[in-house]
Amino acid sequence: MNEDPNSGEPSAGSDAAVLRHALRHEIRQVAPMPGQGALVALCGLPGTGKSHFAAALKRRTPCVVLGSDRMRKTLVSQPRYTRQEHARVFRAAHLLVEALLEEGFPVVFDATNLTARARDPLRDIASRAGAPLVLVQFDAPPQLVRQRLARRSRGQASDSYSDADWRIYCRLYPGQEPVSAPHLDVDSSKDTGTVVEEVARLLEERAR
């Protein structure tokens, strides 16, 4: 395994290869689009419905869902959620996103992507790959989020990869920045089917 000589950690390329191998079955189930792919980037605090939306979109139309929580636990068996670990996970994730786009895959990147600084690399990746970028911003009433995160902490949620709880939500809340670029808004306390259908149609039009 190649290592970054400055940190002693595996290189981003090696990490991206590990992630791709872990996701190989999901990737094989999706047919590449003609030309370049398309990137759907989900943005929002924990518990606001991003992973549920991604799963619904995947049921509606073939796409490769890359969830940051799953990718983190693929690379780090016992995450500590340090800045260094975060940087490592996202360097590898961004490399994999770009590679899949260049190969023509429709990609859904499920991560908090709370700030412009976090979203800018995705814009750059999509631009380099010649792929459209669809930003989807998520929100939900805090009381509903708290209930969802409590169910997750008790192991009652379908998302088994995230460790985020109400404390993490409260810590992240002040730092979120609204998406200023064109985007779709989702209030996951309401029916999300209309937005799922809209994104699915965008991906299907791209595939023609």
Strand partners, 153: none
Q: Which helix (H) or strand (E) holds 135?
A: strand 133-139
Work out the end-to-end distance of the chain between its first and last CA atoms, rounded to an integer number of angstroms: 39
Whether residue 159 has pLDDT greater than 80 = no
The pLDDT assigned to 35 comes to: 80
Taking residues 165-180, report their average pLDDT.
96
51, 159 in Cβ contact below 8 A?
A: yes
Taking residues 49-58, report their average pLDDT.
97
Q: How confident is the model at residue 154 (pLDDT cuts 50, 70, 90)?
A: confident
Write out pLDDT tens, residues 75-128.
Answer: 998 999 999 999 999 999 999 999 999 999 999 999 999 999 999 999 999 999
> Beta strand 64-67 with 38-43: parallel, antiparallel or unpaired?
unpaired
User: Which has the higher per-residue pLDDT, 35 or 119?
Assistant: 119
Q: Cα separation of 4 and 91, whole Å?
A: 12
The pLDDT assigned to 1 comes to: 46
CA angle 152/69/9 to nearest 5° reads 140
Mean pLDDT of all residues in the chain? Answer: 93
pTM: 0.93
Write out pLDDT tens, residues 129-145.
Answer: 999 999 999 999 999 99
